[in-house]
Amino acid sequence: MPDLPEHPSTVSTAFRSALEVIRGVEPRIADAIGQEVADQREMLKLIASENYASPATLLTMGNWLSDKYAEGTVGRRFYAGCRNVDTVESVAAEHARELFGAAHAYAQPHSGIDANLVAFWAVLAQRVEAPALERAGVRNVNDLSEADWAELRQAFGNQRMLGMSLDAGGHLTHGFRPNISGKMFDQRSYGTDPATGLLDYEALRASAREFQPLIIVAGYSAYPRLVNFRIMREIADEVGATLMVDMAHFAGLVAGKVLTGDFDPVPHAQIVTTTTHKSLRGPRGGMVLCDESLADQVDRGCPMVLGGPLPHVMAAKAVALAEARRPEFRDYAQAVVDNSRALAEGLKRRGATLVTGGTDNHLNLIDVATSYGLTGRQAESALLESGIVTNRNAIPADPNGAWYTSGIRIGTPALTTRGLGTAEMDEIAALIDRVLTTAEPGTTAKGAPSKAQHILDPKIADEISRRASDLVAGFPLYPEIDLG
Ligand code: DSN
């Protein structure tokens, strides 16, 4: 675990005391918090987007900063008395700039979708609103005539975005209809090469030339390989698009300098968004990095898109980013990828088919339909029953659709934080393979084939659960915290 304090008992005392205070008001909540850490200690957590924040990061979130309204940004607030929030927000942004080598950082977004909305609207403000204001000879939207305002609103709705398709590993917030981004933009997707499963930059280039998007979004939540951001920027420049990268999943690998050069999005994209709680191992939240040209627009995220910031969470972002600047974070990031590769090798050796044939990052995507004759939903449930927590995920051209899916996504950031290494990854591959080779598709109550139900011998589920919990017991989570 990161950030072991000099006196571990201090951390124990802090969490115990906090729970005691909470228990005095609402014991069910104290119990739920205690149970959550107990559950997390026992789980074999392979959800690619989850991690374990340090005690320092967790403790930073429970304090008086939470009580302060601070709409606006540093030095430009709508409320008085924000000097401490200014410090917190400035320190978080400073660490983010230094860590990622970004010209500008904005630490307010509450989540990944908020960060993406701030980015979209910063680009729309720069490329659609600012020229409209200039044409009308005014500085503020409030000064536009009704006719000019109607025209601008229509222009906002006419913009195009090119994003990675969902079944290739893209994200709902990259312009898909169920999300607000899909209702804002006319979206087209780019996919992967059906033969290799890899991004096809020439197909993407052709699509960009034809579609002429305002924004090209790069980034993924289920693509197990690297993205060449230099080529993405080249394509964006060629068609006059702004390159936005959502690095939520792999921010920790960028911070830990595993992804550098063409694979580091920050020098190549005009704007980069992230969450702070995935491979970056911080508190639950989001962040935006950008070049100088977008800094003013990004800083208007509140009130443009966001409500009042969460100063206690920005404080925790600052603490986590300070941790990520330490040399040991680079070892962690490298170990995440080494573990992911070891897991891939262990699965392949046992006969599993992986989308793209392997991994270069923190995640693997098992094609469980081809490998084991199961849907993602059946595999996810069988694994959960056996003490292995994963999530189902679509694979390219998924025959089982986005709900049942044919894939299982597995990620290594959390278990690497606990200290598990490549030998344990091979053992985990053996456990996963044993469950999935033994599980079978089930039937509905009426005996028809079901994509949801599975059959798994309870003895196998018990045996694997025991082996999974023995495995993680050797790598205690928060060993310094004893809640009694
Ligand atoms: N929910 C996150 C994930 O699991 O990838 C992305 O939003």
Q: How far apart, in whole angstroms, are the C-alpha atoms of residue 283 and residue 336?
A: 19
The pLDDT tens digits of the residues spanning 305-356 come to: 999 999 999 999 999 999 999 999 999 999 999 999 999 999 999 999 999 9
Looking at residue 1, its pLDDT comes to 55
Nearest to 334 by CA among 246, 257, 424: 257
**Is 26 assigned a catalytic role?**
no
Same fold across 66-324 and 330-473: no
Residue ranges lining ligand 1, Cβ < 6 Å: 49, 112, 221
Q: Which one of the listed residues 97, 284, 325, 330 is annotated catalytic?
A: 284
CB 160 within 8 A of CB 213: yes
Q: Ligand 1 atom closest to Cα of 112?
A: 7
Tell me which DSSP letter residue 241 carries. Answer: P
Count the Cβ atoms, other than its own, within 10 Å of residue 115: 31
Residue 5, pLDDT > 90, answer no
Contacts of 100 (CB under 8 A, 6+ apart): 254, 255, 266, 272, 289
Q: Is 31 a catalytic residue?
A: no
Class level of CATH domain 66-324: alpha beta
Enter the tokens of residue 333: 């990031």
Q: How far is the CA of 69 from the centre of ligand 1 (A)?
A: 29
Nearest ligand 1 atom to the CA of 50 is 4
Phi, psi of 466 (to 5 degrees): -60, -45
**45-88: per-residue pLDDT in tens?**
999 999 999 999 999 999 999 999 999 999 999 999 999 999 99
Mean pLDDT of 389-408: 97
Assigned token pair, 252: 């920790």
CATH code, 330-473: 3.90.1150.10
CA of 222 to the centre of ligand 1 (A): 9
Q: Judge whether residue 4 has pLDDT over 70.
A: no
* End-to-end Cα distance, the chain: 20
The predicted structure's pLDDT at residue 430 = 98
Instruction: Provide the pLDDT confidence category of residue 402 given band limits of 50, 70 and 90.
Output: very high
Nearest CA to ligand 1 atom 6: 221
What's residue 9's pLDDT? 83
The percent of residues in the chain predicted with pLDDT above 70, rounded, is 98
Q: Which helix (H) or strand (E) holds 216?
A: strand 215-218
pLDDT score at 229: 98
Residue with the smallest CA separation from ligand 1 atom 3 is 49
Give the nearest ligand 1 atom to 172 CA: 7
From 116, 171, 393, the mutation candidate for ligand 1 (largest count of ligand atoms within 8 A of CB) is: 171
Residue 328 burial (CB count, 10 A): 12
Q: How far is the CA of 438 from the centre of ligand 1 (A)?
A: 28
pLDDT for residue 6 is more than 70:
no
How far is Cα of residue 196 from the mean position of the Cα atoms in its chain? 25
Which one of the listed residues 42, 71, 94, 338 is annotated catalytic?
71
**Catalytic (active site) residue 284:** yes
Angle (CA) 92 98 99, round 5°? 85
Per-domain residue ranges of the chain? 66-324, 330-473
SS3 479: coil
Q: Which of 249, 277, 280, 363 to mutate to test the pocket of ligand 1 (most atoms within 8 A of CB)?
A: 249
* H helices present in 79-185, as ranges: 83-100, 112-124, 130-136, 146-157, 180-184
Q: Are 181 and 174 in contact (CB under 8 A)?
A: yes
Which residues, in sequence order, are bridge partners of residue 443? 449
How many angstroms separate the CA atoms of 363 and 369, rounded?
18
Closest by CA position to 172, among listed 187, 182, 157: 182
In sequence order, which residues have a C-beta less than 8 Å from that of residue 17 and are 6 or more positions away? none
- Predicted pLDDT of residue 121: 98
